[in-house]
Amino acid sequence: MLDKSPLPAAVNVPNDLAAHWMPFTANRAFKKAPRLLAGAKDMHYITVDGRKIIDAAAGMWCCNAGHGRSQISAAIAKQAEALDYAPPFQFGIPQAFELASRIADLAPAGLDHVFFCNSGSEAADTALKIALAYQQIQGQGTRSRLIGRERGYHGVGFGGTAVGGIVNNRKMFGTLLAGVDHLPHTYDREKQAFSKGEPEYGAHFADELERLVNLHGASTIAAVIVEPMAGSTGVLPAPKGYLKRLREITQKHGILLIFDEVITGYGRLGFAFAAERYGVLPDMLTFAKGITNGAAPMGGVLVRDTIHDAFMSGPEHVVELTHGYTYSAHPLACAAGLATLDIYRDENLFERAGKLEPKFADAVMSLRGEPNVVDIRTVGLTAGIDLAPRPDLPGKRRPDLPGKRGFDGLNSAFHDNDLMLRVAGDTLALTPPLIVTEDQIGEIIEKVAKVIRAVA
Ligand SMILES: Cc1ncc(COP(=O)(O)O)c(C=O)c1O
């Protein structure tokens, strides 16, 4: 007789996936072969069918302390019981002030004030708006241009999309913001291929800012925003000396410099912030993701004291910056943030990432020579592995092929090799939680090798 008893599924699995329009996802392909997750602990996800998947992506560059940290979930639960929500406009909660102070303590001296929001996108837009407003209150209202960089990613708000430089993220959305220009990206495979850490070649790409100043006039430019390591485009570490040079040129011309540290913040490059690794002090620094270990949505902007203080004038009953979000400094996110910073401190996770960096780099570079690997880049606990796109058929152009090998790699990793990684086009990105062990690095690399062979 046919056994009709239900399978012992790990969780209740939905049988209709239609309603949820998933973000940044190939929806139709996903719904044919879903990658559904039900749990997570330390270095692993658990799928709905009970498989243990090693996480080589820290979720999405978020879970630097690994998954299922009970200290964080307990802090969130306790906070939810005590105070579920408080209006952040004209009212405050002690935890928001404490968290801001602790973030400022972690940051390079001078970045002393924190404006909270809920995501990296909001952080980018907030920083751009503060830059424009600051220039205006300084009597420099002609400075309204914003400069981003090709291949940059600053989230999906109109501001972040406009200064971002990934064509597929831009081309569907009209003219975006007026008065935006872009520096060239810093990648030259011929000169930089298989670099460990910051490539030797490429500091001069910063000089292109002088060209933009000559084109537009310094008096029209408010700010430049860059990621110290461009993550979402496929891991492009800054060339040696590049960020210092960008700082010198911005300073010379009175242009603000914003570092988007949504990925590089909270230990990814072996320091609390990449600004420290590179010895460069930006005027503003955006963060998100790692601040709560991914356990609650939160983002923010660290702001130089001189910029903050410039706003603190005029009648005291008047709002100094007409900007903010209903969920800025949300109590649950503040609780998660404080517990997360405790873990980072108590487990020395930033230093741990720095110590593991050379071993991680050697391990990833061992994939050189696997089929179709055309470049590998590493910095901190992060790596990008470029695979050659699937070739066109003889005499036939197939525009659907770029990104296909990467996408197949994502599926092979998840469905056949119990591995979570990220892909950007045909680049595989590895960004494990900072708690990863040397053995687990070895395991990840073995699995990645299998994935690369599977999509050869
Ligand atoms: C550098 C950078 N900035 C901004 C963002 C956007 O963050 P969110 O997705 O939280 O809006 C990201 C997300 O990956 C990012 O990598």
The response to whether residue 155 sits with its C-beta less than 6 Å from ligand 1 reads yes
Output the average pLDDT for the chain: 96
Encoded tokens for 100: 């801001």
The number of the ligand 1 atom at minimal distance from the alpha carbon of 121 is 11
Tell me if the pTM is above 0.75. yes
Question: What are the DSSP E strand ranges found in 227-337?
Answer: 229-230, 236-237, 256-260, 284-287, 299-304
Is the Cβ–Cβ distance between 292 and 72 less than 8 Å? yes
The number of the ligand 1 atom at minimal distance from the alpha carbon of 261 is 1
Is the Cβ–Cβ distance between 83 and 44 less than 8 Å? no
Q: DSSP assignment of 315-328, as one string?
A: -TTS-SS----TTT
> Could you give the 3-state DSSP secondary structure of residue 298?
coil
The response to whether residue 164 sits with its C-beta less than 6 Å from ligand 1 reads no
Mean pLDDT of 145-167: 98
Cα–Cα distance for residue pair 227/275, rounded to 1 Å? 10
Residue 15 confidence (pLDDT) = 84
User: Ligand 1 centroid vs 15 CA: distance in angstroms?
Assistant: 31
For the chain, give the percent of residues with pLDDT over 90.
94
The number of the ligand 1 atom at minimal distance from the alpha carbon of 260 is 1
How many CA atoms within 13 Å lie on the side-chain side of 279?
5
Backbone conformation region of residue 136, classed left if phi is above 0, alpha if psi is from -120 to 50, else beta: alpha
Does residue 52 carry a pLDDT above 50? yes
Can you say how many angstroms the Cα of residue 8 is from the centroid of all Cα atoms in its chain?
A: 37
Q: DSSP assignment of 156-192, as one string?
A: SSHHHHHH---HHHHTTSTT-SSSEEEEPP---HHHH
Angle between helices 331-346 and 94-106 (to 10 degrees): 40
Does residue 184 carry a pLDDT above 90? yes
Residue 185 confidence (pLDDT) = 98
Q: What is the pLDDT of residues 77-111, one digit of tens each?
A: 999 999 999 999 999 999 999 999 999 999 999 99
Cα–Cα distance for residue pair 151/305, rounded to 1 Å? 30
Q: Between 396 and 3, where is the model more confident?
A: 396
User: Ligand 1 centroid vs 121 CA: distance in angstroms?
Assistant: 6
Q: What is the pLDDT of residues 172-181, one digit of tens each?
A: 999 999 999 9
The response to whether residue 231 sits with its C-beta less than 6 Å from ligand 1 reads yes
Residue 7 confidence (pLDDT) = 45
Encoded tokens for 69: 């940290």
DSSP label at residue 299: E
Which residues is 378 bridged to in the sheet? 196, 383
Can you say how many angstroms the Cα of residue 404 is from the centroid of all Cα atoms in its chain?
A: 23
Confidence of residue 6 (pLDDT cuts 50, 70, 90): very low
Q: Which residues of 140-165 are buried (b: 16+ CB within 10 A; e: fewer)?
A: eeebbbbbbbbbbbbbbbebbbbbbb
Residue 10 confidence (pLDDT) = 58
End-to-end Cα, the chain, rounded Å = 44
Give me the domains of the chain, ranges plus CATH numbers: 27-56+348-454 (3.90.1150.10), 73-346 (3.40.640.10)
Confidence of residue 9 (pLDDT cuts 50, 70, 90): low
Encoded tokens for 309: 């203080």
Q: What is the sign, positive or negative, of the torsion defined by CA atoms of 121, 69, 57, 437?
A: positive
Residue 327 confidence (pLDDT) = 98
Q: How do 52-55 and 111-117 pair as beta strands?
A: unpaired
Residue 136 confidence (pLDDT) = 98
Q: What is the sign, positive or negative, of the torsion defined by CA atoms of 170, 172, 173, 174?
A: positive
Identify which of 122, 154, 161, 163 to mutate to test ligand 1's pocket (most ligand atoms within 8 A of the CB).
154
User: Ligand 1 centroid vs 394 CA: distance in angstroms?
Assistant: 39
Q: What is the pLDDT of residues 313-371, one digit of tens each?
A: 999 999 999 999 999 999 999 999 999 999 999 999 999 999 999 999 999 999 999 99
The number of the ligand 1 atom at minimal distance from the alpha carbon of 232 is 16
Cα–Cα distance for residue pair 450/49, rounded to 1 Å? 22
Cα–Cα distance for residue pair 237/30, rounded to 1 Å? 31
Encoded tokens for 241: 């000396």
Residue 100, number of CB atoms within 10 A of its CB: 20
